[in-house]
């Protein structure tokens, strides 16, 4: 039976939500086309995981390969790449999936170069046609959907976008196999420091509603009014590059060409001019509302609804109105 290998990412001792989604998609394809799903997880000290390692067994995998070493405590592209390549050589999977995180994307590129296969990044849909991987992804600054088909019979690589695929819980437990770790794991890259700069909010990639702020918000403090609005809406707060440049928000929150590509039901752009590089990240948003004091701002050219006004007046009023509405329910 041909195999689909899924690299399963662990963050602070927990399997990432994205990885569970990727496993779900792999299971779906495996059931449809009669393939086997093998998960590969690299970690340090599995016994002290926040979620017991056994819980991995139910996410739709036939077999889980566990690689444990203190060398895997922090991500290292060369060491991770070496282990994954080694397993791929043994397993000879037909397809290899990663989640489309920064780590997943990097490893996918590496693996595709090692095995000279296709590499489809950030897929929003994948299918298999006569054993060849077919992928749908955004290209050309988010303006165009490309459907691509692999011409490789083995080692076909893709990364799957977050917030799109359904996770699956199955009844059957996966087989757990510990793999041997080579002793000589060295890298030419050494981590010196990791500075946490996450805003700790709901991921923009999963949010149904995003309230995004730009340079017009003017200070980090002022972002509180956007947070208050996002709170009422159960949404997340995003930012333009302009806001990130001014250090009003962390780069994790950046939406656009060099930030995240989001697909919420509602995107509220506040004090964002609508540069093409920003718009590249929101082409898949269902409904866009723009609040900007400049009636000529480009954002109005693509917004479904626009309010020409001062965001410092409009947003608190909007938050209040929505709060009242919720109270009525």
Partner 1 sequence: MNIIVCVKQAPDIEKSVKIAEKIIDEGSDFVLNPLDEHAVKEAVNIKEKMGGKITALTLGPERAKQALLRCLARGADEAIHIKTDTTYNFDSTVVSVVLAEKIKTLPFDIILFGSKSVDTNSGSCGVQIAKILDIPCVPEIIKLEIGQEKAVVIRQMDGGEETVECLLPAVFTCQKGINELGLLRLPEILQAKKKPLIIENLSQNISSTSEIISLEFLPERKSGLIIKGSPEEQVNELVIILKKQGIPGG
What part of residues 204-263 is at the interface with partner 1 (CB under 8 A)? Answer: 209, 232-234, 241, 245, 251-252, 257-258
Minimum distance from CB of 308 to partner 1 (Å)? Answer: 6
Binding interface with ligand FAD (CB under 6 A): 214-216, 240-243, 254-259, 271-273, 275, 277-278, 281, 291-294, 297, 310-312
Tally of CB atoms within 10 A around 52? 11
What DSSP character marks residue 174? P
Residues 85-114 that bind partner 1 (CB under 8 A): 101-103, 105-106, 108-110, 112-114
- Binding partner of residue 106 among partner 1, ligand FAD, none, CB cut-off 5 to 8 Å per kind: partner 1
14 in contact with partner 1 (CB under 8 A): no
Nearer Cβ to ligand FAD (69/277)? 277
CA–CA separation, 54 vs 67, rounded Å? 14
Looking at beta carbons only, is 47 or 50 nearer to partner 1?
A: 50
Residue 187 lies near partner 1 (rule: CB under 8 A)? yes
Helix axes 77-91, 102-114, angle to 10 degrees: 50
- In the complex, the smallest distance separating the C-beta of residue 220 from partner 1, rounded to whole angstroms, is 17
Q: Which is nearer to partner 1, 63 or 312 (CB)?
A: 312
Closest CA to 160 of 135, 181, 185: 135
Measured distance CA(242)–CA(223) in Å, rounded = 13
Residue 314 CA: distances (Å) to CA of 209, 288, 307: 18, 16, 9
Q: Which of residues 16-35 bind partner 1 (CB under 8 A)?
A: none
**Encoding tokens for residue 299?**
């954002």
As a whole number of angstroms, the distance between CA 299 and CA 184 comes to 54
Least distance in angstroms from the C-beta of 150 to partner 1: 5
Could you say whether residue 201 binds partner 1 (CB under 8 A)? no
- State the Cα angle at 199 between 195 and 200, rounded to 5°: 100
Cα 151 to Cα 131: distance, rounded to the nearest angstrom: 10
**Residue that has been written with the tokens 């400049």 in this structure:** 294
Task: Look up residue 170 and give its two tokens.
Answer: 């199955």
Stretch (H or E) spanning 316: helix 311-328
Q: Is 142 in the site for partner 1 (CB under 8 A)?
A: yes
- The residues in 44-83 that bind partner 1, with binding defined as CB under 8 A, are 75, 77-78, 81
Stretch that binds partner 1, among 26-34, 51-59, 150-158, 163-171 (CB under 8 A): 150-158
147 binds partner 1 (CB under 8 A): yes
Contact pick of 14, 139, 169, 220 for partner 1 (by CB under 8 A): 139
């Amino acid at each position: 039976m041909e195999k689909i290998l899924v690299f399963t990412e662990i963050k602070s001792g927990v399997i990432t939500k994205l990885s569970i989604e990727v496993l779900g998609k792999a299971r779906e394809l495996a059931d449809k086309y009669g393939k086997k799903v093998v998960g590969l997880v690299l970690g340090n000290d599995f016994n002290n995981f926040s979620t017991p390692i056994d819980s991995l067994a139910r996410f739709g995998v036939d077999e889980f390969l566990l690689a444990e070493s203190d060398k895997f405590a922090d991500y290292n592209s060369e060491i991770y790449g070496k282990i994954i390549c080694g397993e791929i050589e043994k397993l000879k999977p037909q397809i290899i999936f990663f989640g489309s995180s920064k780590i997943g994307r990097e490893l996918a590129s590496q693996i595709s170069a090692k095995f000279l296969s296709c590499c489809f990044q950030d897929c929003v849909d994948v299918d298999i046609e006569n054993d060849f991987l077919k992928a749908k992804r955004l290209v050309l600054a988010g303006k165009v959907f490309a459907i691509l088909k692999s011409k490789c019979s083995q080692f076909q690589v893709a990364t799957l976008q977050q917030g799109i695929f359904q996770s699956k819980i199955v009844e059957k437990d996966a087989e757990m196999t510990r793999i041997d770790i080579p002793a000589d794991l060295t890298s030419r890259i050494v981590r010196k420091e990791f500075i946490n700069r996450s805003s700790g909010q709901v991921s923009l990639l999963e949010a149904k509603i995003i309230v995004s702020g730009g340079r017009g918000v003017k200070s980090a403090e002022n972002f509180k009014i956007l947070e208050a609005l996002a709170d009422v809406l159960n949404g997340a707060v995003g930012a333009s590059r302009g806001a990130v440049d001014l250090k009003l928000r962390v780069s994790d929150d950046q939406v656009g060409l060099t930030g995240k590509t989001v697909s919420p039901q509602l995107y509220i752009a506040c004090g964002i001019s609508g540069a093409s590089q920003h718009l590249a990240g929101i082409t898949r948003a269902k409904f866009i509302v723009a609040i900007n004091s400049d009636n000529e701002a480009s954002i109005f050219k693509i917004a479904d609804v626009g309010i020409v006004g001062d965001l410092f007046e409009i947003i608190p009023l909007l938050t209040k109105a929505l709060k009242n509405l919720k109270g009525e329910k």
